[in-house]
Amino acid sequence: MLNKKSRFSALILLVSIIAVSRNAFCAYAGSTVYDLISHAPDASWSSGAGVLPFPGNPADNRGFALFVDNAFLEDGSTWQRVLETHPQWVGGGWIMGAYPQQTVQSNVQLIVRIEFLSGATGTDGARFDVYFDEYRGLNVAPLRHTILSQVATLDDRLDLVTKDLDYLAGKKGNFIIYVNAGQTSGRDWAVWAEARVETKALPDLVIAEVRCDRNNSLIGVIDAPEPTHFLTKFHRYFNGYARHCCHSIACARLLQLECFEKVAT
């Protein structure tokens, strides 16, 4: 039978596992890694007519990219700031912004919300693309990965697209956003309401068992995913040596026990 010191060591081990899981996984789930809208001034902008400035001029028939504040969009919503990217004013016209080189992190995804400014009546729609040009060396052309290609029309709604970027993890290169006018460019007031790389929520953490490191004796098997069952089993195995001093918290679908303290006996 385990003595009091061994049981308390196992308690500390269990709490440490939970604490590390909280810091490593929960705190950063859903965090923005790179915002393509706020970093638009850092991108290199161009169209079929050549290099473009940022911010551009809405009267520039070469195409333009600029921020629109307090933007009223086709679905009736108002956004504090969006990125408008109007392609060159010709059939098949396009505009693109190439962002500075970076390395794609693991466990991230791309989130975009695209549509048109309110009043864009007459547009025949536009195609929104996001690419990643993978760097392969100074003397080798980059390898283009198409992350998404979405045709948007004036339909009084916002298009939300989410793309997993795990297949790009560790690769160095440039994100590129691109808009193509299609057959006509009239009133192609194309906007990116959101465009960001963010961390993904992680799956449930399941602790199968906890063993005492002194003699590898089994202390308890934790096999219930529900917090109430977890606490019941925890107290069953450690009753008399610890008590929880606050409640369980759901965060990124992980169970956390905020703190424990030793009960002097």
Q: Is the whole-model pTM more than 0.85?
A: no
- Mean pLDDT lowest among 147-151, 199-203, 226-230: 226-230
What average pLDDT does the chain have? 77
Q: Is the pLDDT of residue 233 over 50?
A: no
Q: Are 191 and 145 in contact (CB under 8 A)?
A: no
Task: Report phi then psi at 188, rounded to 5.
Answer: -80, 65
Q: Is the pLDDT of residue 220 over 70?
A: no
How far apart (Å, rounded) are the C-alpha atoms in residues 254 and 204?
5
Q: Are 111 and 194 in contact (CB under 8 A)?
A: yes
- The CATH number, out of the four listed (1.10.240.10, 3.30.430.20, 3.40.50.10490, 2.60.120.200), of the domain defined by the range 32-199: 2.60.120.200
The pLDDT of residue 241 is 35
- Mean pLDDT lowest among 130-134, 203-207, 251-255: 251-255
What's the rounded mean pLDDT across residues 206-217? Answer: 47
The pLDDT of residue 251 is 36
Bond from prior residue into 55 cis (ω within 30 degrees of 0): yes
* pLDDT, tens digit (0-9, with 9 covering 90-100), for 112-125: 999 999 999 999 99
Provide CATH 2.60.120.200 ranges for the chain. Answer: 32-199
Q: Which of 23-37, 106-120, 227-241 has the highest mean pLDDT?
A: 106-120
b (16+ CB within 10 A) / e for 80-119: eebbbbbbbbbeebbbbbbbeebebeebbbbbbbbbbbbe
CA triple 64-65-68, angle to 5 deg? 120
Q: Are 263 and 243 in contact (CB under 8 A)?
A: yes
Check residues 220 and 91 and name the one with the higher pLDDT: 91
The pLDDT of residue 222 is 41
Q: How confident is the model at residue 201 (pLDDT cuts 50, 70, 90)?
A: confident
Q: Is the pLDDT of residue 22 over 80?
A: no
Query: Over pLDDT 70: what percentage of the chain?
Result: 65
Q: Is the pLDDT of residue 146 over 50?
A: yes
CA–CA distances in Å: residue 109 to residues 94, 102, 106, 165? 25, 15, 9, 5
How far apart (Å, rounded) are the C-alpha atoms in residues 186 and 183?
9
Q: Are 150 and 84 in contact (CB under 8 A)?
A: no
The pLDDT of residue 11 is 43
Bond from prior residue into 58 cis (ω within 30 degrees of 0): no
What's the rounded mean pLDDT across residues 174-189? Answer: 97
Q: Are 152 and 114 in contact (CB under 8 A)?
A: yes
The pLDDT of residue 29 is 56
What's the rounded mean pLDDT across residues 91-106? Answer: 97
Concatenated DSSP letters of 44-78:
EEEETTEEE-SS--TT-TT-EEEEEEEEEBTTS-E
